Amino acid sequence: MKSGTSPVLSEITDTFVIEGFAKRELPLEVWNHRAHLVVAAHALVTLPLEEAVDAIKNGIREYNERQGVANTTTSGYHETLTCFWIAILVSELGALPDSLQKDSFSVATFLADRLADRPMLWKQYYSYDVARCALARASWREPDLKRLPSSRTTRPSCW
């Protein structure tokens, strides 16, 4: 791939996504639900939980700003959905056998693949359109339909 050009989506690897996000240079057209998952899963595997949560939340905000996406009450970073997906990933990660948790890229790929086709999973937990709710975008809102899955780890402060 030539420098300065966007990759063809079929050429995208999870390593490309993780490294591009870390530099805040991932092409915006690649920043989809699966990319969010792989970046978050990688952080959760490689960092202590609270550090991972901060890195994910701050990273998404910074990435958006770098890409020209405003973080407002109607666009950009969404606190509730970010924390919801972190909770789901933490639960999934806690259910993996320890033998699978050695290679951070493989685990991130495994978890992203497992959840990528379920972008509306939050609808099983919220009775309202949390994605469009300005209050939920700005601050964490507990699910009102069912509890988040538990995990073997301590829950971070955002949920």
CB atoms within 10 A of CB 52: 21
73's tokens: 């009450």
pLDDT score recorded for residue 159? 59
Contact of 140 with 83, CB cutoff 8 Å: yes
Per-residue buried b or exposed e for 132-156, using 16+ beta carbons within 10 Å of the residue's own CB: ebeebbeeebebeeeebeebeeeeb
pTM: 0.87
Write the pLDDT tens digit of every residue in 43-91: 999 999 999 999 999 999 999 999 999 999 999 999 999 999 999 999 9
Q: Does the pLDDT value for residue 10 go beyond 80? A: no
Residue 68 zone, left/alpha/beta (φ > 0; ψ -120 to 50; rest): left
Write the pLDDT tens digit of every residue in 111-148: 999 999 999 999 999 999 999 999 999 999 999 999 99
Q: Does the pLDDT value for residue 150 go beyond 90? A: no
Residue 94 pLDDT level (bands cut at 50, 70, 90) = confident
